[in-house]
Amino acid sequence: MATENKKVLMKGNEAVGEAAIRAGCQCYFAYPITPQTETPEYLSRRMEEENLVFLQAESEVAAINMVFGAAAAGVRVMTSSSSPGMSLKQEGISYIACAEMPCVIINVVRGGPGLGNIEASQADYFQSTRGGGHGDYRCIVLAPNSVQESYDMTVQAFDLADYYRMPVFIQSDGIIGQLVEPFVMGPYTPMFDELPPKEWALTGCAGREPNVIRTLFLNPPDGLEKQNVRLYEKYDRIEAEQQWYEDYNCDGAEVVIIAYGCASRIARSAIKTHNGNGSKVGMFRPKTLWPWPKKRLIEIAENNPKVKFLVIEMSMGQMIEDVYISLMDIVPKSRIAFYGIGGGWHPTPDSVYEKIQEVLAE
Amino acid sequence: MKVLKTQPKSITTEGTKYCPGCGHGIVLRLIGEIVDELGLREKMILTAPVGCAVVLYDYITCDVIECPHGRAPAIGTALKRVHPDKFILIYQGDGDLAAIGAAEIIHAANRGENMSVLFVNNAIYGMTGGQMAPTTLIGQKTTTSPTGRCVKGMGKPIRVCELLSSLEETKYLERTSVHSARNINKTKAAIRKAFVNQINGIGFSLVEILSMCPVGWRLSPRDSQSFIEEQMTDYFPLGVYKDTD
Ligand SMILES: Cc1ncc(C[n+]2csc(CCOP(=O)(O)OP(=O)(O)O)c2C)c(N)n1
Ligand code: SF4
Ligand SMILES: [Mg+2]
């Protein structure tokens, strides 16, 4: 494994592939779909060079079940797809979440619903943060807004997955995935001092009791309920430990924009122009979409009782529900504005600038 | 007194939840015997299907993963890729393999995954209470084909061995049955061969086992045996469909 700090130029979709290899990912399974196909293309070459497992599956359904199998076998494993393919993976993700198998799942989001289009979008926020598949479960969702973060977060995702024993998503989009940017390809630096040993892995039961990986809980009658409670205790712990965000210029701001991923970069350009003009606009950027970083947002609202919020999304409005939920006791809805674009289209710095003006004038 | 047979060591002693006269229990016993004979228990990883055999881990004392309905061949593929030195046993019913999991089995077979698949064909969805399966015979009454399966609109039963035999990377395909002692012995030989093939790195092996489901068929255990002898084997001929070792 390379250990040097190397500055390289790559597409976001390739950076996540290289990150996986640096993080010790042993297996990668996927099915082609635009705008994420550079990841399987890149990994088909790199995994072979490194003597690792690359397999182009017959469908996203098969790919996610291969992920389930490899995770159960005890190794680091990843898959990637884009929105329509992610819908197909949801059955498997529900099983993987229930069985508490660590894995990394990249979603390079495109416009939907349906076949939608192949442009960048943020319309899978509900799907990623609310479950997507059936049953009571959560997945950690990391949202990069650059190629550097795509790389860094993918490496971290493997540690989070092993540490908490669960699927971890990278929620990218068609722009972040296709963007070519220089970034520093750092060595793998573990997030945690120690990761729990995979004593549950299926390796053949030589010298130990058999391991069983299952998601059916018929007996005793309260078995599933206990599993649900166990999972939720873990999710509560993650909510306390892993709320990631970036804030910029929020203290004393008149307007705080809330945006993640690609939308946050567009907003940032608009803010630059704005703050050049005298008024004060800040930005709060969630880096984890689940758990949603509400602690810091509440703090911002409390420190600044008159602040107006402007939520910007490349969707018809999905993350805004988490903003409402986080602020429901302290900020009236009338102080939370929304600017979103669906159809796989994105706001421009100019259109965001105009929207900021509107909010300031209200 | 001479002991002719004992309980296989790899099988638990609590007994199964299969109905009286069910073929799954016979297949389980055969697996246990062969696993013991070949010393596979500590080297194997078994995939349990969604179907009446879902709790196989309560019956066999080895590492097991319970798979989503029909997805075992994909899961098994990954298990084998990670642990090429382990013995991977895929166990599936006819709804699991030939309906919801049709794509997964075809592609695992086509890739020639070095795995052993036991396909228990009882021409019905046993676990959910006797609905029509892709292998249900023409004229056979089920809870979702109450007047009997008809070709028009429902198609003909899928013959899995014949279907898979066109895929060149499949190495061994045989259809057997567990409705009589003679056929049980033949089934044991076939399962053994499928296991040995994997151990010897031969490649994809599948044994399709015609199996009684008295409860789903609304027949007595004895009539269920006759149903296989007289009707099932007529449409699903027993025999070797591929053997390229
Ligand atoms: C995705 C999904 N669809 C449907 C079911 C319900 N279901 C459980 S078992 C089964 C049929 C199993 O039939 P088969 O594979 O023939 O096994 P058998 O019980 O006959 O051995 C079905 C449809 C399920 N568990 N999951
Ligand atoms: S329903 Fe049929 S297949 Fe299931 S246990 Fe009973 S007899 Fe066997
Ligand atoms: Mg069946």
CATH of the domain at B73: 3.40.50.970
Q: Does B17 touch chain A (CB under 8 A)?
A: no
Instruction: Kindly give the distance from the C-alpha atom of residue B71 to the centroid of ligand 1, in angstroms, as a whole number.
Output: 12
Measured CA angle at A120 (ends A108, A263), to 5 deg: 105
| Of B161, B102, B104, residue with least CA distance to B133 | B102
pTM of the model: 0.97
pLDDT in tens, A21-37: 999 999 999 999 999 99
B219 lies in a domain? yes
CA distance A221 to A234: 22
B79 lies in a domain? yes
Nearest CA to ligand 1 atom 13: B125
Extended strands (E) in chain B: 44-48, 63-66, 87-93, 116-121, 170-177, 204-210, 239-243
Residue A300, pLDDT score: 97
Burial B173-196 (b: 16+ CB within 10 A, else e): bbbbbbbeeebbebbbebbbbbbb
- Partners of residue A106 on adjacent β-strands: A80, A170
Measured CA angle at B114 (ends A30, B211), to 5 deg: 105
Partner residue facing B79 (CB), from A26, A59, A69: A69
Give residue for tokens 């064909």.
Answer: B121
What is the tally of structural domains in chain B? 1
Range of the domain at B87: 24-243
Residue A1, pLDDT score: 46
Which residues in A lie closer than 8 A to residue B104 (C-beta atoms)? 58, 61-62, 65
Give residue for tokens 């036991």.
Answer: B118
- Please, which pLDDT band fits residue A3 given cuts at 50, 70 and 90? low
Contact state of B68 with A91 under an 8 Å Cβ cutoff: yes
CA distance B127 to B216: 8
Q: What is the mean pLDDT of each run of 10 residues along chain B (245 residues)?
A: 91 94 98 98 98 97 98 98 98 98 98 98 98 98 98 97 98 98 98 98 98 98 98 98 91
Which residues in A lie closer than 8 A to residue B54 (C-beta atoms)? 216
B6 lies in a domain? no
B3 lies in a domain? no
**Bridging pattern class, strands B87-93 and B44-48:** parallel
B183 lies in a domain? yes
* Chain A residues 80-139 with CB within 8 Å of chain B: 91-92, 95
Could you tell me which CATH number the domain at A246-361 has? 3.40.50.920
* Chain A: closest CA distance from residue B151 (Å): 29
Please, what CATH class does the domain formed by A7-196+215-241 belong to?
Answer: alpha beta
Enter the DSSP assignment of A343.
T
**Bridging pattern class, strands B239-243 and B170-177:** antiparallel
Residue B23, pLDDT score: 98
- Please, which pLDDT band fits residue A222 given cuts at 50, 70 and 90? confident
- Return residue ranges of chain A for CATH 3.40.50.970: 7-196+215-241
pLDDT in tens, A69-122: 999 999 999 999 999 999 999 999 999 999 999 999 999 999 999 999 999 999
Partner residue facing B45 (CB), from A29, A58, A204: A204
Which residues in B lie closer than 8 A to residue A207 (C-beta atoms)? 42
Contact state of A205 with B78 under an 8 Å Cβ cutoff: no
Q: Does B46 touch chain A (CB under 8 A)?
A: no
Residue B58, pLDDT score: 96
Q: Does A213 touch chain B (CB under 8 A)?
A: yes
Q: Does A67 touch chain B (CB under 8 A)?
A: yes
| A226, A229, A231, A237: CA torsion to nearest 10 | -140
* Chain B: closest CA distance from residue A292 (Å): 30
Mean of the pLDDT values across residues A246-269?
95
